[in-house]
């Protein structure tokens, strides 16, 4: 019966996702599309919806709407069978988010009734309602659930604590605090118990609530397999990020609001988000029941597994470059296109490009010979000096050279670099394996343009590890700028073909 109903919904009516461009919504849509659902994605900006990787998918309808605009919400819901309500107003309404959330929830109940929706699925927050210090943010999450349940349409509520994954505001606060501060003066909330959950597990529960009749008109607590304190989570992150153990000094005088302002100073997370989230950290957020585990079974990722997955930088870069080619749905714990600009952590990235009147093979030729006896085309003395320093530090230095001189394969070594991905004669990605506080990648792109023109691009990416990595990256940025400009100039010259432009540097976000 459930399977037939699911098939009928997929054939006839789309599923409304309110909050389609948010952290959870933008990851839920690709999963639902992969399962065969039709989707109506609602957001305030059609342009933002269109720019998403799924924005032009044939099974996606885009609807411009705002939950605070009742008529637009009714239009978006009309013709849909069910709806995911993944909206909150912390960013948009800041200090007035609680009242905005109440109004938006009232609109959703009215729109669902008028559109004839069968069910609303809402993702809220854990935390006992009767807890004396319950934050305004968590209290608002509970109020929204109550308002949605007051309407005639069936509602399924999921209550989650900290959601783990790149792009989640809570996770990004954790990332920047641990990465930037070897010693932290913290409030007493570092000892508060929490039951974090991986974003991939959250998405599985959300989809399961769409398909299981047993989830109708139910409220479920959802959490991962670990009950930890925030001190524990900080320690796990430091270990997975290969950082020294962080020293935490709890003091009683730091209020949640003062903590939030300190977080805003240390991290790029806006105060409008940091303050409500931080105020909620003093409240124990653990599951009081686990009924959903038998209704929608799945393997729950541990906190350590999830953080490790979120930090898989090499695979993230490799598959992001292959996204358009193979259509792979990236793990939800990774950064997604359209995430907030601080998602994914600190990075120092720069690109350099030049256009040549040449063939693709002629431009690829110097890339294919790089390293080993050929060298790095510019400032080879500095490259060798860096190798010597690396050897002194206990690294591999330049002594590996290049064993295969005719071609590249993934996994090959090139001096103190390793080939991560290669697609000759168009693309090469190398990862540095020298000793330094961070991860460094170098990419070479050969791009065909009209009229026989070729663009050669060299991209440098450095992801600092901890405070030492930040100091290292920014201190050497001018030197690296000089080296990479010289490299691309020498590589272009070695083709023997005329350059059509000067070397242009560009930011990767351009």
Residue that has been written with the tokens 């909330």 in this structure: 189
- At 407 the pLDDT is 79
**Among 58-62, 306-310, 316-320, the least confident range:** 316-320
Least confident segment among 54-58, 132-136, 239-243, 326-330: 326-330
Question: What average pLDDT does this structure show over 201-205?
Answer: 98
Residue 119: what pLDDT?
96
Q: In the structure, what pLDDT confidence band is assigned to residue 189 with cuts at 50, 70 and 90?
A: confident
Per-residue pLDDT, averaged over 458-474, amounts to: 93
Is residue 330 predicted with pLDDT exceeding 90? no
Q: The tokens of 277 are what?
A: 């989230």
pLDDT at 95: 60
What pLDDT, in 10s, does the model give residues 224-278?
Answer: 999 999 999 999 999 999 999 999 988 877 666 677 677 777 788 877 777 777 7
pLDDT tops 90 at residue 139: no
- Closest by alpha carbon to 290, among 355, 370, 383, 197? 197
**What CA–CA distance (Å, rounded) separates 462 from 210?**
41
Task: Report the distance separating Cα 72 and Cα 487, nearest Å.
Answer: 54
Q: Is the pLDDT of residue 399 over 90?
A: no
Which DSSP letter does residue 150 get?
A: T
pLDDT of 463 above 50: yes
> What is the pLDDT averaged over residues 330-354?
90
Does the pLDDT of residue 423 top 70, yes or no? yes
Q: Does 114 score more than 90 pLDDT?
A: yes
The CATH superfamily holding the domain 348-506 is START domain (3.30.530.20)
pLDDT per position as a tens digit, 368-388:
999 998 999 999 999 999 999
Would you state the pLDDT for residue 133? 67
> Has residue 328 got a pLDDT over 80?
no
* Parallel/antiparallel/unpaired status of strands 60-64 and 39-43: parallel
Q: For all residues of the chain together, what is the average pLDDT? A: 89
pLDDT band at 1 (very low <50, low <70, confident <90, very high): very low
Question: Which two tokens mark 505?
Answer: 């540097």
Report CA-CA distances (Å) from 488 to 116, 317, 355, 416.
61, 22, 11, 19
- In the chain, where the domains are located: 2-326, 348-506
Predicted confidence at residue 364, as pLDDT, reads 96
Kindly tell me if the per-residue pLDDT of 448 is higher than 90. yes
pLDDT in tens, 31-79: 999 999 999 999 999 999 998 989 999 999 999 999 999 999 999 999 9
Report the CATH fold assignment for 2-326: Rossmann fold (3.40.50)
- Tokens for 207? 């989809």
- 85-101 pLDDT tens trace: 999 865 444 567 788 89
Q: Write the burial class of residue 8 (CB in 10 Å: 0-12 exposed, 13-18 middle, 19+ buried).
A: exposed
- Is residue 441 pLDDT above 50, yes or no? yes
């Amino acid at each position: 019966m459930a399977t037939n109903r699911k098939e009928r919904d997929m054939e006839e009516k789309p599923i409304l996702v309110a909050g389609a461009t948010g952290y959870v919504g933008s990851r839920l849509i690709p999963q639902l599309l992969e399962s065969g659902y039709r989707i109506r994605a609602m957001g305030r900006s059609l342009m933002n919806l269109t720019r998403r990787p799924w924005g032009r998918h044939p099974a996606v309808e885009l609807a411009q709407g705002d939950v605070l605009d009742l008529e637009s919400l009714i239009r978006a819901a009309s013709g849909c069978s069910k709806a995911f309500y993944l909206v909150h107003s912390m960013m948009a309404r800041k200090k007035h988010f609680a009242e905005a959330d109440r109004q938006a929830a009232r609109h959703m109940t009215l729109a669902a009734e008028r559109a004839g929706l069968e069910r609303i699925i809402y993702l809220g927050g854990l935390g006992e309602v009767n807890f004396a210090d319950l934050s305004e943010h968590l209290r608002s999450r509970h109020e929204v659930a109550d308002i949605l349940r007051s309407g005639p349409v069936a509602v399924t509520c999921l209550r989650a604590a900290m959601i783990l994954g790149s792009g989640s505001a809570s996770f990004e606060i954790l990332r920047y605090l641990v990465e930037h501060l070897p010693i932290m003066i913290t409030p007493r909330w570092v000892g508060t118990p929490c039951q974090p959950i991986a974003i991939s597990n959250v998405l599985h529960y959300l989809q399961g609530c769409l398909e299981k009749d047993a989830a109708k008109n139910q409220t479920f607590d959802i959490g991962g397999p670990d009950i930890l304190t925030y001190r524990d989570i900080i320690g796990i992150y430091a270990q997975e990020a290969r950082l020294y153990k962080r020293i935490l000094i709890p003091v009683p005088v730091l209020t949640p609001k003062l903590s939030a302002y300190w977080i805003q100073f240390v991290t790029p997370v806006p105060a409008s988000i940091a303050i409500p989230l931080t105020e909620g950290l003093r409240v124990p957020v653990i599951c009081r029941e686990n009924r959903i585990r038998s209704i929608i079974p799945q393997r729950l990722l541990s906190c350590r597994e999830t953080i490790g997955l979120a930090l898989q930088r090499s695979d993230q870069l490799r598959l992001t470059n292959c996204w358009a080619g193979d259509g792979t749905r990236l793990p939800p714990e990774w950064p997604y296109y359209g995430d907030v600009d601080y998602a994914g952590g600190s990075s120092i990235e720069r690109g350099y490009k030049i256009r040549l009147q040449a063939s693709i093979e002629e431009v690829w030729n110097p890339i294919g010979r790089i390293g080993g006896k050929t060298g790095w085309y510019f400032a080879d003395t500095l490259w060798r000096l860096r190798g010597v320093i690396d050897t002194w530090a206990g690294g591999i230095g330049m002594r590996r050279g290049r064993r295969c001189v005719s071609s590249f394969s993934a996994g090959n070594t090139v001096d103190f670099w390793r080939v991560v991905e290669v697609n000759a004669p168009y693309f090469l990605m190398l990862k540095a394996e020298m000793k330094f506080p961070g991860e460094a990648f170098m990419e070479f792109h050969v791009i065909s343009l009209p009229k026989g023109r070729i663009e050669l691009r060299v991209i440098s990416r450095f992801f600092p590890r901890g405070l030492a990595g930040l100091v290292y990256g920014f201190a050497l940025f001018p030197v690296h700028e000089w080296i990479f400009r010289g490299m691309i100039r020498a590589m272009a010259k070695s083709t023997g073909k005329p350059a059509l432009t000067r070397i242009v540097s560009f930011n990767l976000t351009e």
